[in-house]
Structure formats: C-alpha cells, structure tokens
Amino acid sequence: MKKTTFVALLLLSIQCFAEDITSSAQAIESEWASIYYKLPKTKQEAAYDALLTKAEQLAVQFPNTAEPLFWQALVIATHAELQDGFTALKAIHKSRDLLLAAIKINPQTANGSAYVTLGTLYYMVPSWPIAFGDAEKAEKMFQAALKINPNGIDANYFYGDFLLANNKAKEAQSYFEKALLAPTRKEQSFADSELKDEVKLALANTKNRKINGVKNTFFSLFNSASLK
C-alpha cells in the first residue's frame, strides 16, 4: 500500500470516528434536555438511570475520549438533585472526578462546557467539610470556559449566575445579556431555547431564577444529611 493511500485511509477513519462520537454525544444531549426540561420529576430518576447507562456504554465504545465522561458527569450531577443527601454527596464527587478526567484528556471538551459544569458544581455545593464548594475554583473554571467559548450561552449564563450569587449584580447583568445574544445551535435548538428562557428570567427577576432553586436544593439535601 502506498504511503499516501495509507495516510488518506487514516484521515478518513479519524473523520468517521469524530462524526460517530459527535452524533452519539448529540443524541445523549438531546435526551438529557428532554428529561431535564420536559419530563415530570416523578419520572426523571428512571430516565436519568437509563441515560447514564447509554453514556457509560459510549465510554466503553470510545475509551480515552472526553465527551462520554462529560455526559456521564452531567447526568450524574443533575440526577443528584432528586436523591437523598448521602447519595447526592457521593454523586457530585463522582461527577467532579469525571469532569476533571474529561478536561485532562481534552481541555476543550464540549466547547468549554466541561469547565462550565465543573465551575457550577464548585459554587453550588457546600464547602468543606460537607462537600467541595470553592468560590475561587469556580471563578477559575468559568474564566477557562469563557476563554474557550467567549460567546457561549452556557458559559455566560452560569458565570452571570455565579456573579449574582456573589452580590455582583451589575457584572452579572452584562453576562446575562451576552448569553441572550449567543447564537442558537441548530442541532440543539431546544436545549438552547430553554436555557435562553432562563436567561430572560434571570434578567427580569433574579429572585425567581431556576438555578438558585437548584442551589437551594443542594444545600438543603446536604444540610439535612449532616444532621442525621
């Protein structure tokens, strides 16, 4: 076989691999968005379990690849909201470890969303000795995400939410406004549309922000667990 032919075949196989992992990851993302935004809470737990299995199977199919680790982490983290304190505590630690592993393989995993998710965990969960909450680490993660994807909806929205939680309303507003102007991805228009609704809500009435409710859920879970 000629060297040029071998190189062409190699490049073709890499492209097919990339398209395969991308389409699989997009399918998981679409299903996650449907569960998170559409499914009643009473049915979400079983749906998250089934979706996690798919993400784990994807990790087996594509070993040493960052995207399946990222999606496992996101599913585990959002599922934790529905779990009891001790189970949720174990879950968020696993989610954090998966995100760190994904970033180690590829810092640009999910176009910076691995950093966004990790930063959100760092600022949402309680600090030591209950969990690993750390505002300084959260800030670094969000800045890393914005460096990779400065115009991304999730990086701008969640960093804005972080700033607002730290009484920096004026700075937060500029990031919310930037998130609202972020382009909607054609392949994930539903998820982006739902997130933009949250951005609008954050701008209109910060007291009713959905993300703040999630944060309160995390704190109530862990505080109740620590008292038992």
Distances (CA, A) of 87 to 32, 56, 79: 20, 19, 10
Q: With respect to residue 12, please indicate whether it lies within any of the assigned structural domains.
A: no
In the chain, which residues have pLDDT < 70?
A: 1-19, 187, 205-228
- Position 206 scores a pLDDT of 59
Q: What is the number of domains present in the chain? A: 1
Q: Which residues contact 184 (CB under 8 A, 6 or more apart)?
A: 153, 192, 193, 196
pLDDT score at 86: 87
The reported pLDDT for the residue numbered 185 is 75
- pLDDT recorded at residue 228: 35
Closest C-alpha among 228, 29, 15 to residue 130: 228
Residue 142, in any domain of the structure: yes
The first and second tokens of residue 215, run together, are 């944060």
Structural domain boundaries, residue 196: 27-226
Q: Which two tokens stand for residue 88?
A: 């949720």
- Residue 205: the pLDDT is 57
Q: What is the spatial distance between Cα 21 and Cα 39, in angstroms, rounded to a whole number?
A: 26
Q: Is residue 74 part of a domain?
A: yes
What's the confidence (pLDDT) of residue 203?
82
| pTM for the model | 0.82
User: What is the per-residue pLDDT across 8-18, written as a single tens digit (0 to 9) for each?
Assistant: 333 333 333 34
- Which CATH number fits the domain that encloses residue 89? 1.25.40.10
Burial of 42 (0-12, 13-18, 19+ CB in 10 A): exposed
Render pLDDT for 63-111 as a digit per residue (tens, 0 to 9): 989 999 999 999 999 999 898 888 999 999 999 999 999 999 999 999 9
What pLDDT is attached to residue 28?
Answer: 92
Angle between helices 41-61 and 3-38 (to 10 degrees): 170
Q: Is residue 7 part of a domain?
A: no
Structural domain includes residue 2: no
User: Is there a domain that residue 73 lies in?
Assistant: yes
The pLDDT of residue 193: 85
Q: Is 162 exposed, middle or buried (0-12, 13-18, 19+ CB in 10 A)?
A: buried
Tell whether 44 is covered by a domain: yes
* Residue 14 domain flag: no
Q: What's the pLDDT at 216?
A: 47
Q: Cα–Cα distance between 67 and 101 in angstroms, integer?
A: 10
